[in-house]
Structures are given as C-alpha cells and as structure tokens.
Structure 1
Amino acid sequence: MVQYLAECFSTCILILIGEAAIANYKFARQTSNSTLPVGIAFGVGVYSAMMISGPITGAHLNPAVSISLMTIGKLKPLRCIFYIIGQISGAFLGALLVYLVYFNQFNVFDGGVRQMIGPNGTADIFFTMPAKGIPQWNTFIDQVVSTGCLMIFVMALAYDCNHMISEVAKPFAFAVVVMSVTCAFSINAGAAVNPARDLGPRIFGAFVYGWNDVFRAHNYFFWVPIIGPIVGAILGAWIYTGYTWLIKHYGHFSNTEHTAADKKILLNNTQTESVDDAHELQLKLTKVHG
C-alpha cells in the first residue's frame, strides 16, 4: 500500500507539472514548434517526483520501466502490478488537477465547447496524438526507439558499478535524460515514453471529450503509446543487461570495480588478516619475554 501511494503521488506531481506546461503553451496560442519548454517541465517534474518516491520505490513513475525491470528479475510481479495501478491512477489525478486549475482558461480558449482537435482543440494537453501524415507503424517504432533509449539511460545511471556520477546528482541526471528524450522524439507522436502518462490522462479525457472520440481517434491510436513504450523498455533493459554481462566477462571492468558485496567480503578478509597478524605478533613477544 505504501508503494502504491508513493507511485501514485509522485506520478501525479509529474503529470501536473508536465501537462500544466503544455496547457500554458496551448492557451498562449504559441506558434513556435519548440519542444524545449515542455521538455524542461517534464524534466523538472521527474526530479520533483523522484524526491517524493525515490527513497520508497525508486520512483519508477512509468509502467514500462516497472514491467521491463520485472522481466529481468529486478521487481516482483505483484509489486509491479501495484506500481502500475499507482502510476496510472496518479496520472489520472494529475490530469484532473490540470483541468481544474485551468478550467476558465479552457472556456476562454474553446468558448465552453470542448473539442479534441482543430484550432480550438485541447485534448493534446492531456494525451498524445500522431502528427498529420505519420502512419501508425511509424509512431509505434518512434515509441519503441525513444523508450528503449530512455530505459538504457535509466539503467546506466542506476547501475551499481557506475561511479561516473554521485548518488546526489542522479535525480538531476534522470531529469536531464527525460528532458532530452522528450525534446528529441516529440514531433511524430508526442514522446509519451510512458503508458501511464498517456493512459491515465486519456481516461480522464474520455469524461471530457467522450469515450468513443478519445479511444477511436486516429484509427485507434491509443494502443501505440501503451504497447510501444513497454516493448521499447523491455528491449532497452535486456540490451543493457547483455551489455553489462559482456563487459564483466570479456572486458576489464570486473577487474577494477567491486560490488557492495565484494567490498564487504574484502573488508572482512582484511579485518581477519589484521587480527591474525596481531595474534602472531603477541605469540612472538611472549616467547621473547618468556
């Protein structure tokens, strides 16, 4: 239950900050195609969310991350299910808060008539949509590749033997990674890279724009930001796991670095040797003075 609440609360904060930034961009009727402001917002959202749930769950914030870690034995299936439920419900609540905060702005923007697409469409504040003229297979590949890259970066930063960055700086590094991926892969399908980030707000959007319109739009596009990130994260997790296995067995990495367990064994051995040396010295002194 504690893990569920942590993932729910932190994912809610992530979606609140990220989608509030999209709403500001939308209501200002910005004509620029720059994704940097939104990327920064989602990066800061990740950083804030990690401060909340990092000590409790590791701040997965993403069902694709949880599922991929489960496939490599880093997360138990039952706990993974609770994480996913928390993430999706937290994303739903985050979208609800954005809608409540900017309710009057929605009315000013669309005249009180909620529209998914078009000049006054606001649904893209909550969930992703494909760009005009981009086929569905292309958006699926986009999601697989972008989430695969994200997962590789996440595992590299979380790897125990990676001493390139301190523990204190890791949340900031995660934020930069999310910001970079968001900016790099937004144009095709909005860079969801997170099933909860799309599905939770999409479910909320169904109450605002209608269930049929939300889930049937763009030739049932809704499955792409759910399945694509999961496939990509699993591939990324296994690729990085295979990479570290090769480095350990065929490189020089394992000869120079030690895991926490290795360091504990070395420390115990050193302490034992010190005790033995002291005992041997005491015997010698006894013989000399005896």
Structure 2
Amino acid sequence: MRQHCAIKHGILKEFLAEFLGTFVLVLFGCGSVAQTVLSRNTLGEPLTVHIGFSVGLMMAAYVAGGVSGGHVNPAVSLAMVVLGKLKIWKFPFYVMAQFLGAFVGAAAVFGLYHDAFMDFTSGILSVTGINATGHIFASYPSRHLSILGGFIDQVMGTGMLVLCILAIIDGGNIGAPKGVEPLAIGLVIMAIGVSMGLNCGYPLNPARDLGPRLFTAVAGWGMEVFSTADHWWWIPVAGPMVGGLVAALIYYLLIELHHQRDEPEKPQEEELEEEEDEDEEDISLKDKYEMITMS
C-alpha cells in the first residue's frame, strides 16, 4: 500500500491534511450546534457549543499539524504567508482544501442528523423563523448588530485568534511545549467563544463559514442563506482575512521583530583559516622579537 498509494508530492499531502483537519473542525463544531438546536436545548447549551468548537479545532490541529501546520483557516494561512512562514504559491491550495473540508464536514453533519432535521423542521428547511436551522451551519448576526459592527467583530475576534496562535508557536517567545500547541489553541477558541460570541457566534474562519453556507444553499435552504440580514454572508469571509493580516503585522512589529537572534555559527573551514592567520601573526611577531634582541 505504501509503495503504490503513498503520495510523494508535498503539496498534495498538505492539501489532504488541511482538508481532513477542516472536516474534523466542522464535524465537531457544527455537530455540537446541531445537537443543541435539534434537541431544543435538552442535550446542549452554549457551553457545549464552545466545547465542541474548541475541541474540534484542537483535534483538527493534531490531525493536520505535523503535515501542513494545521491552519484549517484561510485567515491563519494568510498570516503565515505575510510572515514568510508559508510560501505564497501554496496559499491557494490550502484555501481550496479548507473550503472543501468545511463543505464535506457540513454534509456529514446533515447526513448524521438527517432524520432529526426532518422531524424538527417538518421537512421545511429555513434560515429564519421558529424552526430555523440555517444557523447550525453558518453564522448569522444578532438583531442588534449592524454590518459595520459585525465587520469589526470579525476583525477583532480573528485578530485575537491569530495573535495568540503566533505567540503559541513562537520559538523566540515562551511558546508552548512541543505537542501541546493544539491544546493551547483550543483554549484560545474557548476564551473567544465565552467572551466574543454574543454578536454573531464567532465564525472567525472564512472556510468554516462559507463552506457550510454553500452546502446549505444546495441542500435545501436555498439562496436565502446569502440574502438574509442584508447579505451578511460576506462579513465572516472578509472580516477574518483582514483580522488575520492585521494581527500578523501587530505581532511581528511589537514582539517578533525584537527577538534577539543568535549570531550564525561560522563554518569550520573559516575557523581553521582564522586560526592559521593567528598562528602566522604569532610567528612573525616572534621573528621580529628575535631580530631585535640579536641586534
């Protein structure tokens, strides 16, 4: 199997890792929302949703981290490109894998709870109303939230996520022990969920939001998923990208730029040449001293 089926090309392995990692994130995250909504809060509550997304992201990072870095988020990938931690030509492949993984993850949640969806909605899938289920898969704003307020919410929330991720993986900072980084990142999502989830449910991830939204559009909810709330759909796509970019620049300018860098070690050949030069200088000084004493 390894000889005939193992993929040799690096970008394909990274593509599959990002796909599977994002799938895991959406399956656990949206699955926790589905269980809460479809059980009418008898088998879930806001805290269980926070746990679902936090553990989902942690497991996604464990699944994909050793192969692709476990970005599972275009905003994170963009930040890595800006900081030179990801080659720019890989960026489209990462984003495509993340969107596909999120789309398939949403399909898996719908398949898992299909009978519950039909029972809850009587077969009528809608975005608004008392039996609305569109928000299981994608974010929609609270009544009090304006478009500008939603954009700021996504910039700030994603900015904090990316900022903390950069600190966790920064070898020049305290960082996190090897293998514990996904756990720390999961705790960041938990913190964001309990502190910034009121406005629109902290999507913070264009792939995690748009991928499932596209699935709902073709699975029965229709184009209402894009027109609802003054065409809200683009906010959790554009906002996180801006937030990730801003956070990357802030962390670099305020923290990473000021790390003390060790002087690069000189090659052994250069060290030998310097020692030979020093020996020649010592010999020449000795000859001069002998000439002076003899005279």
Instruction: Give TM-score scaled by structure 1 length.
Output: 0.84
Q: Higher RCO, 1 or 2 (CA under 8 Å, sep at least 6)?
A: 1
Partner of 1:197: 208
Query: How far does residue 154 in structure 1 lie from its aligned partner after superposition?
Result: 0.4
Letter in 1 for 2:213: R
Letter in 2 for 1:195: P
Letter in 1 for 2:265: I
Partner of 2:131: 120
Q: Contact 2:125/2:221 (CA < 8 Å) preserved in 1?
A: no
Letter in 2 for 1:265: E
Query: How far does residue 225 in structure 1 lie from its aligned partner after superposition?
Result: 0.1
Unaligned runs of 5+ in 2: 1-11, 280-295
Partner of 1:213: 224
2:93 is aligned with 1:72: no
Q: Contact 1:35/1:186 (CA < 8 Å) preserved in 2?
A: no
2:213 is aligned with 1:186: no
Partner of 2:98: 87
Q: Contact 1:35/1:182 (CA < 8 Å) preserved in 2?
A: no
Aligned with 1:146 (options 157, 163, 177): 157
Aligned with 2:145 (options 123, 134, 138): 134
1:87-143 deviations in whole A, cap 9, x for unaligned? 000000000000000000001111111111111010000000000131111011000
Measured in 2, the distance between the counterparts of 1:84 and 1:164 equals 26
Letter in 2 for 1:82: F
Query: How far does residue 31 in structure 1 lie from its aligned partner after superposition?
Result: 8.6
1:236-275 deviations in whole A, cap 9, x for unaligned? 0100000125533xxxxx2xxx66xx5x839x88xx89xx
1:22-75 deviations in whole A, cap 9, x for unaligned? 001101212999632111111111111112111111100000111122123222
Pair 1:225–1:164, CA change in 2 (3 A): closer
Q: Contact 2:172/2:256 (CA < 8 Å) preserved in 1?
A: no
2:72 is aligned with 1:61: yes
Measured in 2, the distance between the counterparts of 1:166 and 1:246 equals 22
User: Alignment length, in residue pairs?
Assistant: 261
Instruction: Give TM-score scaled by structure 2 length.
Output: 0.83
Measured in 2, the distance between the counterparts of 1:236 and 1:85 equals 23
Q: Contact 2:103/2:214 (CA < 8 Å) preserved in 1?
A: yes
2:62 is aligned with 1:51: yes
Partner of 1:265: 265
Measured in 1, the distance between the counterparts of 2:83 and 2:231 equals 31
Pair 1:219–1:98, CA change in 2 (3 A): same
Partner of 2:38: 27
Measured in 2, the distance between the counterparts of 1:165 and 1:111 equals 48
Measured in 2, the distance between the counterparts of 1:131 and 1:84 equals 28
Measured in 1, the distance between the counterparts of 2:86 and 2:72 equals 14
Partner of 2:168: 157
Residue identity over aligned pairs, in percent, reads 33
Q: Secondary structure at the match of 2:162?
A: helix
Partner of 1:170: 181
Query: How far does residue 186 in structure 1 lie from its aligned partner after superposition?
Result: 1.3
Judging by fraction of residues, say which structure has more helix: 1
Measured in 2, the distance between the counterparts of 1:144 and 1:32 equals 32
Measured in 2, the distance between the counterparts of 1:177 and 1:219 equals 30
Partner of 1:38: 49
Letter in 1 for 2:252: T
Measured in 1, the distance between the counterparts of 2:241 and 2:43 equals 31
Pair 1:186–1:77, CA change in 2 (3 A): same
Measured in 1, the distance between the counterparts of 2:175 and 2:90 equals 30
Query: Which deviates further from its counterpart, 65-74 or 153-162?
Result: 65-74
Q: Contact 1:116/1:209 (CA < 8 Å) preserved in 2?
A: no
Partner of 1:15: 26
Letter in 2 for 1:2: K
Query: How far does residue 171 in structure 1 lie from its aligned partner after superposition?
Result: 1.4
